C-alpha cells in the first residue's frame, strides 16, 4: 500500500520564506500604485489659487491653543457632497475650503469667537440645491480646545433652462430610487466589499488554521491607516514609502504576535474560548493606545484635494478606483497562492485537519506563523486603502468594520478564504444599497439581518464545510 506523504525537506524553511518574500514584494509593488495615482492626480490638478484658499478638509486637531470648525455635507441621495466650497471669516481668518471625498470639512482656528460660514452655491452639483430653510451665511461660535460643528443641508432641486436651480417640493428626503442612485450605491457597495474582503480573508484564514476568532483583527486595520498617516504627515515621508512601511510593520506585528503570544498559549493547551477572550482584551488595549497617542480626531493620510472621476452616473475618486484595482489584484494573488502553490495546499491541509497535516510532514506551526504574518499584512493594506478612500482614519476605524468582517466570513463559510470574499461582497452591497430606502446607520443593521436569515437557511454559510479551500 502506498502512502502519500509530504516530506519535510531540509530547505523547506528557505522555500517558505522565499514565497513569503515574494508575496510581500507583490503587495509592496501594488501599494506603489496608490501613491503614483495620488501623485499624478496632484500634478494634473495643481491650481495656482490664492494662499487664502485651503485644501479640502485640512487635518484639524484641537488643543489649548487651537479649535476646530467642522461639518459634513451630503447630497440628497445620502452620498458625500465632494468639492463644496465654503468661505470662512472671523477672528484672524478669511479663507475658503472645500469638502473632501467623504463630504466632510474642517478648519482650524486660533481665536475664539463668532465666525461666518458661507456656502458657494455654484459649487453644488446640478440637480441639488441648498435647503431654503438653511442659513447661508451661517454664524457659529468657535472655541479653543473644542470641535464646533455645523451642518448645511442640500436637497433635491430642479434646474431651469436659464441654469438656475430651485428646490423641488417633497424631494428633500432623498429617498426616491432612481437608476443613477442605484448605480452610485452599487459601485460604492463593490468598493466597500473589496476593501472589506482584504481584511476578512486574513481573518478567515486565521480562524481556519487555528480555530481562533480574532477580535483584535480590526485594530490591525486601524494600525495600517494610522501608520500611513504618521509616516506621510508627521514624519514627512513620501506617500509611497509610508504605505510600504505601514504594510511591512503590520506584517511584522502578526509574526511577533504569533511568536510571543499565540504559539506559547497553543502549546499550553489553552482553549479557543480563552484565546478569544485574550483577543478581546488585546483589541481594547490597542484601541485606547491609539487614542492615547493620536487622540480621538480623524486624521487624513493624503492632504491633497481628492480628484473625482465620472463613469456615467457613477462618481468615484481616483483613489477609490486605484484602491479597488489593488484589492482585486491582491485577492487574486492570495487565491492563486492558496490553490496553485505548495504552501497554499499546506495551508488548506492545516485548515482542514491540523493533526493529519502534521502527520503528513507539514510543519503546522510554521504555516500558522505565515498565516498570521500574511493576514495582518492584508489588514494593514486594507487600513491604508480605507484611509485614502474614506479620506480619514481614527482610533476606532477597525472596530466599526469588525462586525461586518465577522458577518462576511460567517456568511461565506467559516475558515474559507473564497467564502470570505463572497461574504464581503454581499455585505458591502447590502450595506450600501440599503441607503436607497433607509437612512443613516440602519444599513449596518440590515447587513446583520441578512446574515441571520441566510444562516437560518444554510448554517454552514455559502461555501459550506465540504468546499473549504482556504
**pLDDT per residue as tens digits for the range 186-244:** 999 999 999 999 999 999 999 999 999 999 999 999 999 999 999 998 898 888 899 99
Give residue 165's pLDDT: 52
Indicate if the pLDDT at residue 335 is higher than 50: yes
Indicate if the pLDDT at residue 35 is higher than 50: no
Give residue 354's pLDDT: 86
Indicate if the pLDDT at residue 441 is higher than 70: no
Domains of the chain: 15-39+179-467 (1.10.3470), 67-167 (2.60.40.10)
Give residue 195's pLDDT: 95
Give residue 467's pLDDT: 45
Could you tell me which of 332, 390, 32 has the C-alpha nearest to residue 191? 390
Give residue 157's pLDDT: 62
Could you tell me which of 163, 191, 188, 164 has the C-alpha nearest to residue 77? 188
pLDDT tens by residue, 236-265: 888 889 999 999 999 999 999 999 999 999
Q: How far apart are CA 223 and CA 383, in angstroms?
A: 7
Indicate if the pLDDT at residue 153 is higher than 90: no
168 vs 345, which has greater pLDDT? 345
pLDDT tens by residue, 96-137: 998 888 788 888 998 888 899 999 888 888 778 887 767 788
Give residue 343's pLDDT: 92
Give residue 80's pLDDT: 83
- The dihedral sign for the CA sequence 369, 373, 379, 382: negative
Indicate if the pLDDT at residue 6 is higher than 80: no
Q: How far apart are CA 347 and CA 354, in angstroms?
A: 9
439 phi/psi in degrees, rounded to 5: -85, 165
Give the confidence band of 5 by pLDDT, cuts at 50, 70, 90. Answer: very low
Indicate if the pLDDT at residue 45 is higher than 60: no
Amino acid at each position: 500500500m502506498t502512502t502519500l506523504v509530504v516530506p519535510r525537506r531540509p530547505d523547506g524553511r528557505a522555500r517558505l520564506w522565499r514565497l513569503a518574500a515574494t508575496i510581500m514584494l507583490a503587495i509592496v509593488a501594488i501599494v506603489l500604485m496608490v501613491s503614483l495615482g495620488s501623485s499624478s492626480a496632484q500634478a494634473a490638478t495643481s491650481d495656482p489659487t490664492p494662499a487664502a484658499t485651503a485644501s479640502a478638509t485640512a487635518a484639524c486637531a484641537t488643543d489649548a491653543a487651537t479649535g476646530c470648525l467642522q461639518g459634513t455635507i451630503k447630497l440628497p441621495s445620502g452620498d458625500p457632497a465632494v468639492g463644496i466650497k465654503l468661505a470662512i471669516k472671523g477672528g484672524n481668518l478669511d479663507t475658503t475650503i472645500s469638502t473632501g471625498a467623504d463630504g466632510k470639512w474642517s478648519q482650524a482656528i486660533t481665536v475664539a469667537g463668532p465666525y461666518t460660514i458661507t456656502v458657494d452655491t455654484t459649487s453644488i452639483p446640478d440637480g441639488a440645491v441648498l435647503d431654503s430653510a438653511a442659513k447661508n451665511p451661517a454664524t457659529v461660535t468657535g472655541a479653543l480646545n473644542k470641535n464646533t460643528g455645523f451642518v448645511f443641508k442640500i436637497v433635491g432641486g430642479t434646474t431651469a433652462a436659464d441654469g438656475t436651480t430651485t428646490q423641488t417640493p417633497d424631494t428633500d428626503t432623498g429617498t426616491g430610487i432612481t437608476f443613477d442612485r442605484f448605480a452610485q450605491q452599487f459601485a460604492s457597495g463593490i468598493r466597500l466589499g473589496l476593501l472589506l474582503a482584504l481584511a476578512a480573508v486574513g481573518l478567515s484564514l486565521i480562524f481556519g488554521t487555528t480555530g481562533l476568532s480574532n477580535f483584535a483583527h480590526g485594530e490591525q486595520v486601524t494600525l495600517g491607516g494610522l501608520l500611513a498617516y504618521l509616516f506621510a504627515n508627521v514624519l514627512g515621508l513620501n506617500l509611497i514609502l509610508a504605505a510600504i512601511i505601514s504594510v511591512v510593520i503590520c506584517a511584522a506585528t502578526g509574526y511577533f504576535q504569533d511568536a510571543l503570544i499565540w504559539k506559547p498559549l497553543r502549546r499550553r493547551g489553552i482553549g479557543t474560548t480563552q484565546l478569544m477572550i485574550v483577543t478581546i482584551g488585546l483589541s481594547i488595549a490597542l484601541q485606547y493606545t491609539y487614542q492615547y497617542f493620536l487622540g480621538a480626531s480623524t486624521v487624513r493620510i493624503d492632504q491633497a484635494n481628492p480628484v473625482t472621476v465620472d463613469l456615467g452616473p457613477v462618481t468615484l475618486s481616483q483613489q477609490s478606483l486605484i484602491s479597488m484595482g489593488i484589492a482585486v489584484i491582491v485577492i487574486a494573488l492570495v487565491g492563486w497562492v492558496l490553490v496553485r502553490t505548495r504552501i497554499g495546499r499546506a495551508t488548506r491541509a492545516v485548515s482542514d485537519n491540523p493533526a493529519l497535516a502534521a502527520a503528513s510532514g507539514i510543519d503546522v506551526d510554521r504555516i500558522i506563523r505565515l498565516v498570521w504574518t500574511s493576514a495582518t499584512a492584508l489588514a494593514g493594506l486594507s487600513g491604508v486603502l480605507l484611509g485614502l478612500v474614506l479620506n480619514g482614519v481614527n482610533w476606532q476605524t477597525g472596530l466599526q468594520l469588525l462586525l461586518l468582517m465577522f458577518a462576511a466570513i460567517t456568511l461565506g463559510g467559516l475558515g474559507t478564504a473564497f467564502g470570505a470574499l463572497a461574504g464581503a461582497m454581499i455585505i458591502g452591497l447590502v450595506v450600501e444599497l440599503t441607503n436607497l430606502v433607509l437612512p443613516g446607520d440602519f444599513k449596518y443593521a440590515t447587513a446583520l439581518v441578512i446574515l441571520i436569515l441566510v444562516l437560518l437557511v444554510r448554517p454552514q454559510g455559502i461555501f459550506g464545510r465540504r468546499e473549504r479551500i482556504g
